[in-house]
């Protein structure tokens, strides 16, 4: 079993005919993801990926003709909010928005619309998700993965790749790896993903990769302390040396006063039973210290 994506995923790629959309769609398809449709306005009736994927003018057409249930969005920032809303309106249940640079104020009503529709948005500015051996949606390199039972959730794309590669090199596989994105306004939080992992019988250990800014890690830690006390857990928090008031990399990675500091996040995670690493490469060893035997 996996969370968010799996063998049942039927993917429509919004923006499949663009450079980034085509490049990453080829990688997803090569991994085994079932890409059933592409969508680019004005290019309906064409095909993509060497004629293997039909292209539609609207997401609604793609859903009606192919039964697509998941979307991956490679649409430039000015059009990405509308692309998310179009996917929601077409009945797509799980939406991954890879696009970065979307203004936070533009995302506020979009996130609420997704919630009201009962759909799931991952991102924006996220790398997507991989269920090793089943499917990958987004831009996470498939070569870093190994099938296993550790659920990984992260705000950072590159730190995710480094941590997962370290786990794989140590013989520790993953059930699902989810990058939630580093923007201030996102559709799926650490807490949301931990709750999904808690309901997955094939996820038997957890890795959380956070960073300075906001209180999402602390909220997830508080929930984990109550509901995930008996599962091996490890974490890493980036930005321990970041100066106050300066954004570091992600739009959401900014410390304001005492809120969102690395120290507060580390303390909350340790209190919840997470073994907190000093670097991503320490995570495999800490998982084993915490009791993981995979």
Gap between the Cα atoms of 174 and 5, Å rounded: 13
- In whole angstroms, how far apart are CA 208 and each of 66, 70, 162, 197, 274? 35, 24, 13, 12, 9
Q: Is pLDDT above 90 for 255?
A: no
Residue given tokens 């870093």 in the structure block = 144
Q: What is the tally of structural domains in the chain?
A: 2
**2-51 pLDDT, tens per residue?**
899 999 999 999 999 999 999 999 999 999 999 999 999 999 999 999 99
Task: Kindly state whether residues 75 and 172 are assigned to the same domain.
Answer: no
Domain residues for 108?
Answer: 11-122
Does residue 133 sit within a domain? Answer: no
Does residue 271 sit within a domain? Answer: yes
The encoded tokens of residue 124 equal 């924006």
Q: Taking the model in full, what pTM does it have?
A: 0.93
Gap between the Cα atoms of 116 and 2, Å rounded: 25
Does residue 135 sit within a domain? Answer: no
Beta bridge partners of 151: 176, 206
Q: At what angle do helices 216-227 and 262-271 cross, to 10 degrees?
A: 10
Residue 47's nearest CA partner among 66, 74, 72 is 66
CATH code of the domain covering residue 24: 3.40.50.720
Q: How many CA atoms lie within 13 A of 130 on its CB side?
A: 28
Percent of the chain residues past pLDDT 70, beyond the cut: 93
Task: Kindly state whether residues 149 and 282 are assigned to the same domain.
Answer: yes
Question: For position 129, what pLDDT does the model report?
Answer: 98
Q: Is pLDDT above 50 for 253?
A: no
Does residue 129 sit within a domain? Answer: no
Sign of the Cα torsion 138, 211, 194, 103 reads negative
Question: For position 260, what pLDDT does the model report?
Answer: 75
* Strand order, beta sheet including 94-97: 47-48, 53-56, 35-39, 11-14, 70-73, 94-97, 120-122
Point out the residues that are catalytic: 250
Q: At what angle do helices 80-89 and 59-66 cross, to 10 degrees?
A: 40
Task: Kindly state whether residues 154 and 266 are assigned to the same domain.
Answer: yes
Gap between the Cα atoms of 203 and 236, Å rounded: 19
CATH code of the domain covering residue 179: 3.40.50.261
Higher per-residue confidence, 213 vs 208 = 208
- In whole angstroms, how far apart are CA 108 and each of 87, 119, 150, 154, 275? 17, 15, 32, 21, 34
Q: How confident is the model at residue 252 (pLDDT cuts 50, 70, 90)?
A: very low
Task: Kindly state whether residues 108 and 229 are assigned to the same domain.
Answer: no
Residue 282's nearest CA partner among 190, 179, 170 is 170
Q: What is the mean pLDDT of the chain?
A: 93
**152-185 pLDDT, tens per residue?**
999 988 999 999 999 999 999 999 999 999 999 9
Q: What is the DSSP letter of 259?
A: B
Task: Kindly state whether residues 33 and 157 are assigned to the same domain.
Answer: no
Which of 89, 122, 155 is at the close of a domain? 122
Task: Kindly state whether residues 175 and 212 are assigned to the same domain.
Answer: yes
Question: For position 7, what pLDDT does the model report?
Answer: 97
- Residue 80 makes CB contacts below 8 A (sequence gap 6+) with 73, 97, 99, 102, 124
**79-133 pLDDT, tens per residue?**
999 999 999 999 999 999 999 999 999 999 999 999 999 999 999 999 999 999 9
Q: How many CB atoms lie within 10 A of CB 287?
A: 24
The encoded tokens of residue 34 equal 């079932």
């Amino acid at each position: 079993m996996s969370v968010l994506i799996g063998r049942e995923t039927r993917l429509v790629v919004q923006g499949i005919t663009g450079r980034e959309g085509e490049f990453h769609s080829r990688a997803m398809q090569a991994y085994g993801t079932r890409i059933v449709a592409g969508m680019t306005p004005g290019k309906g009736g064409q095909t993509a990926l060497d004629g293997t994927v039909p292209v539609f003018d609207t997401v609604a057409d793609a859903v009606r003709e192919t039964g697509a249930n998941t979307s991956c969005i490679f649409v430039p920032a000015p059009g990405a909010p509308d692309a998310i809303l179009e996917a929601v309106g077409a009945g797509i249940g799980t939406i991954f928005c890879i696009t970065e640079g979307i203004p936070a104020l533009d995302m506020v009503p979009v996130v609420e619309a997704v919630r009201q529709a009962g759909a799931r948005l991952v991102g924006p500015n996220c790398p997507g998700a991989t269920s090793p051996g089943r499917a990958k949606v987004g831009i996470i390199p498939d070569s870093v993965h190994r099938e296993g039972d550790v659920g990984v959730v992260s705000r950072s794309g590159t730190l995710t790749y480094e941590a997962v590669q370290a786990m794989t090199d140590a013989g520790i596989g993953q059930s699902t790896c989810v990058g939630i994105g580093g923007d201030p306004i996102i559709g799926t939080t650490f807490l949301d993903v931990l709750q999904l992992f808690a309901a997955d019988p094939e996820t038997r250990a957890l890795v959380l990769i956070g960073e300075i800014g906001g209180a999402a890690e602390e909220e997830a830690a508080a929930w984990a302390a109550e509901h995930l006390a008996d599962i091996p857990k490890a974490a890493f928090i980036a930005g321990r040396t970041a100066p106050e008031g300066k954004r570091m990399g992600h739009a959401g990675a900014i410390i304001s006063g005492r809120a969102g500091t690395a120290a507060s996040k580390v303390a909350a995670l340790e209190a919840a039973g997470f073994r907190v690493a000093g670097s991503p490469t320490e995570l495999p060893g800490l998982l084993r210290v915490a009791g993981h035997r995979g």
